[in-house]
Structures are given as structure tokens and as C-alpha cells.
Amino acid sequence: MIPVLMAGGSGTRLWPLSRAAYPKQFLALNSHLSLLQETAQRLSGLPVEKPIVICNEEHRFLVAEQLRQQQLDVDILLEPVGRNTAPAIALAALHAIQHSCESSPVLLVLATDHTILDDAAFRQAVCRLLPQVEEGCFGVLGVTPTEPTSAYGYIHTGDELGHDLRQVRAFVEKPDAATAQEYLDQGDYLWNSGIFMLRADQYLEELRKYQPEILSACQKAMESVTVDQDFTRIDAQAFMDCPENSIDYALMEPLCAQANNKVVVAELDAGWSDVGSWSALWEIKDKDEHGNVVMVRDDLTTEDVVLQDSQNNLVCAHSKLVTLLGVENLVVVDTDDALLIANKSDAQEIKQIVSILKGKGRHEYQSHRVVYRPWGKYDSIDAGHRYQVKRITVKPGARLSLQMHHHRAEHWIVVSGTAKVTIGDKTFLMTEDQSTYIPVGEIHSLENPGAIPLEMIEVQSGAYLGEDDIVRFEDLYGRS
């Protein structure tokens, strides 16, 4: 099998922890690993080839770095725009057929922003389904429902096929509460996990029948790819012309309607969740004797969250002491630059807050105070009229682009480590407590030649301090 890791989600319902520039698949919500890393680790023990990861341009370095930390070799396909799952899987199928050692490779399509608590049960379900898919069926994992929820789509199951497999009668949209209860009472409905198994050649053949415009656009997009370091870029204009559709609508529903229905489901009872809201995260996390979930980040410990006469709350503390008194069923999420307080029952509506922030032009919907780059990260620790202060961390061996700014000057102060600095035609080293000045319009670059992270303070001053005031002349990471 070739795993296809879909890493393009935005995770707006987990704001302010998840943001457009750093969505939930890159967050460690269930362990010390991110959801993306957990998804990749879950493949251990399965008969798989090199995974294909599909993500957008903005997140490409996050994907590469997190999977590098796991020493995982992957192919990363970059989508210039999101067109939902049906086109994304078509790109993966075309890539797999071209590069796999198998003539008709099986794709295991996985969302990377879900959690599964029992990895062994997941692998067993995949292995039960694999022989049927190799023989020409389209497979899906259906989750054993634990409650009548309206948060998920459902799979209506049919005849038993042996080996704990059943035929799929239909894929059903997210129901209202009463209908969800009916599904649970009937006992022949499963939650749709969004985990699919299919042969790449068959998928493309069925797309040709039911969605020829999607197939044509994806084929054109893959005809002129460019390879840049770890990344494969497809033809942007061709893919922009591709219709937007999910695999459920585009293919699975018409396949279920065929007389010779070959859509098969394996039931998955493994603690699956799409972690689609703070209330969903509360459900899967360990709780104290009062039903409270406490999550702490950075240098905090659980001692930095104090709960008195409070029940069934979720608290995520980032940088400061958080206390609750006499409250219940709340979500409290503290980050460096935003604070969320919401009723747990309203957790699905947090995306409305994100829309309001976006409409107001607030950067908090888009990015955190700490922003990650391929060379490291920076933390915007202070800002005011005509100035901004950042704490910059450069990884060992990494280098910022050779660049200049039209509107700002910069002061650099080394806090720890060694900096190799280029300003104009001069290159020199700086160590702890040393500083330098870069005038407006001067070409400059920064590199960490040492074996430990380089920590610096950067003070910017000028009429315009936006991140788009960068003219790059050379860049290790292929950024324009």
C-alpha cells in the first residue's frame, strides 16, 4: 500500500490554538507528537511503500520538518489551491502509478488531523480490508458510533461479507439529532471516518466515468511538475481549473448506486475522533475526578492551573497561571496573544469568531505570535508605532535568505550561539552580547554556523514593518 496523508485542513474550530498558518494537524493534542506525526507513526507494521503527503504551499516546511523529525522519507505534493479530497486523491493516484513498483498500487487515504487511540485495532481493520481492495473493491473504515451525534457523516451498511466486512448501501450526510438517534437505534449505521482504501488505477477509471473534468484537470496539472528539494509542484493554472468536490460526493455515492456495488466497509472500534471541536477534544482526554481536562504548553505544569468548585471544563494554559472558580462546562484557552472563553456546548460555533476576526483584518485568525520558518522561528514580543521587536531562533546550519527591505532598518543582538552575518560586501561572526545594524535598503543575510540554536533579538524600525517588505536575492528554501 501507499499511504496518502492529507495535510491541508485549517482546523478553525480549535482556534486560538489552531490557526490558518499553523492548523491542528501540526499540533500536539493527544501526546508529545503532532497529529500528523501520530498518523505517520500509526503506519508502522503495515505493508506500505513511501507515503505521499498532500499539503499547500504555506505549510510545506512544517510538513517536511515534522516528518524529518521522525526520519520518514515521503513524497510531498503541493496543491496551489484547495479543491477538496476527490482531486487531491487523483493527484496522489497519478503520482503513485508513475512512481510505485506496483502496476496497480493500493492507496490508503488518511486525514492527518484525526486521533485514533488504539493503533493496533486500526492496523487490523486495514489488513481485513486490504484483500478486498486488491480484488477491485473500494474500501472505507466506518467507526462504531458511541452516541447520536450530528457532527459526523454516516455510512449505511448492508450485507455481511465475512471477515467483519459489510457492503456499503449509502453514504449519508450529517443528520439532525433525531435522525442520528434513529441511526443509532437501527444499529446498521457507522460514522464515516474519511479513511479510504482504493486501487489507484480503478480510482482514475471511475473518475473518468463520473467526474471526467476532475480527472482531466488533474492529468494536465501533473504533466508539467517541478521538483524543488522535498517538494513536487504541480501546474498551478491547470489545477485551479479543477472542479471542487469530495470523494464522498464525486465517487462513493455513485458507486454505491451501481447494481454491482463494490464499496465495502470495515468497522473500526479504536477510539477514533476527528477532533473537530474543543468539546470533541474534551471527550477523548483524561479527566480529573471532577471531569476537568487540563492541558499545559511550553514551560507550564498542571500546577499552573487552579480549579476550585469547577466541573467538566477544558483548560489549555500557554504562558500564565489560569484559575477557575465556580464554573462548569467551559472551554478556556490561553495563548500568547489571544484568550478564548466559551461554553462547551457552543464549541462547534467557534469558527464564527474566526470569521469575525478575519473580517476585521485581525492577524490572530491567521497566525500565532510565534511564527515558524524553514530556518527556525521568530516570536514578536513587542510592537508599537514605527518599531517591532522579535526574538529569533535559527537552527544549527540554517540560513535566512539574502534579502533587503525598502522601509525598515534592523538592529541584531546575539543572545546565545554564533551568528554569521552578511551586510553588503562584508561577512563577519557575532557571538553573545554583540550587535550590529542593517540600514534601510542594505542587502543582508544571517546564518547559524554553530552546533547549537542561535538566539537573537531583532529590533525593527521604520515606516512599514510588514512581512511582505522582503526582497529575496538568494534562498536555500526556494521562496520567491
Res 424 pLDDT > 90: yes
pLDDT digits (tens, 9 = 90+) for 270-285: 999 999 999 999 999 9
* CATH fourth-level superfamily of 2-273: Spore Coat Polysaccharide Biosynthesis Protein SpsA; Chain A (3.90.550.10)
Rounded Cα distance between 330 and 5, Å, is: 33
Beta bridge partners of 306: 323
Question: What is the predicted pLDDT for the residue at 9?
Answer: 79
CA 49 to chain centre: 22
Quick one: pLDDT band at residue 477, thresholds 50, 70, 90? confident
pLDDT band at 229 (very low <50, low <70, confident <90, very high): confident
Q: What single string gives the DSSP state of each residue in 357-400?
A: HHHTT-GGGT--SEEEETTEEEEEEEEETTEEEEEEEE-TT-BP
pLDDT classification of 53: cutoffs 50, 70, 90: very high
Average pLDDT of the chain to the nearest whole number: 94
Please determine, for residue 390, whether its predicted confidence score (pLDDT) is greater than 80. Answer: yes
Q: How much is the average pLDDT of 134-143? A: 96
Judge whether residue 187 has pLDDT over 80.
yes
Does residue 54 register a pLDDT over 90?
yes
Q: What percent of the chain has a predicted confidence (pLDDT) above 70?
A: 100
In the prediction, which pLDDT does 143 show? 96
Q: What does the pLDDT read at residue 333?
A: 97
- Hey, what's the cell of 195? 479513511
Per-residue model confidence (pLDDT) at position 248: 93
- How many C-beta atoms lie closer than 10 Å to residue 198's C-beta? 27
Confidence label for 233 from pLDDT (cuts 50, 70 and 90): very high
Q: Classify burial at 110, counting beta carbons within 10 Å of its beta carbon; exposed 0-12, middle 13-18, buried 19 or more.
A: buried
User: Edge-to-edge, what's the strand order for the sheet holding 408-416?
Assistant: 370-373, 376-384, 387-394, 454-462, 408-416, 435-438
Residue 212 has pLDDT above 80, yes or no: yes
Once rounded to an integer, what is the mean pLDDT over residues 48-75?
A: 93
pLDDT of residue 10: 77
Q: Which residues, at least 6 apart from 161, have a Cβ–Cβ distance to it below 8 Å?
A: 132, 167, 264
> CA–CA distance from 368 to each of 379, 390, 463 (Å)?
9, 13, 23
Copy the grid coordinates of residue 428.
Answer: 563577519
Whether 29 has a pLDDT exceeding 90, the answer reads: yes
User: pTM of the entire structure?
Assistant: 0.90
DSSP letters spanning 244-282? P--HIIIIIHHHHTSTT--EEEEEE-S-EE---SHHHHH
pLDDT at 192: 96
In tens, the pLDDT along 236-272 reads: 999 999 999 999 999 999 999 988 899 999 999 999 9
CA angle 275, 249, 128 (to 5 degrees): 65
**Domain 370-474 - what CATH class?**
mainly beta
List the chain domain ranges. 2-273, 278-359, 370-474
pLDDT above 90 as % of the chain: 88
Supply the pLDDT for residue 479.
73
Query: What residues pair up with 457 in beta bridges, in sequence order?
Result: 391, 413
- Confidence at residue 341, expressed as pLDDT on a 0 to 100 scale: 97
Read off the pLDDT of each residue in 59-77 and give the average, rounded to a whole number. 93
At 104, is the pLDDT very low, low, confident or very high (cuts 50, 70, 90)?
confident
Q: Residues 109, 198: contact at Cβ < 8 Å?
A: yes
Calculate mean pLDDT across residues 440-467.
96
Task: Categorize the per-residue pLDDT at 230 as very low, low, confident or very high, splitting at 50, 70 and 90.
Answer: confident
Across the range 160-168, mean pLDDT stands at: 90
pLDDT at position 195? 97
Stretch 99-128: mean pLDDT, rounded? 93
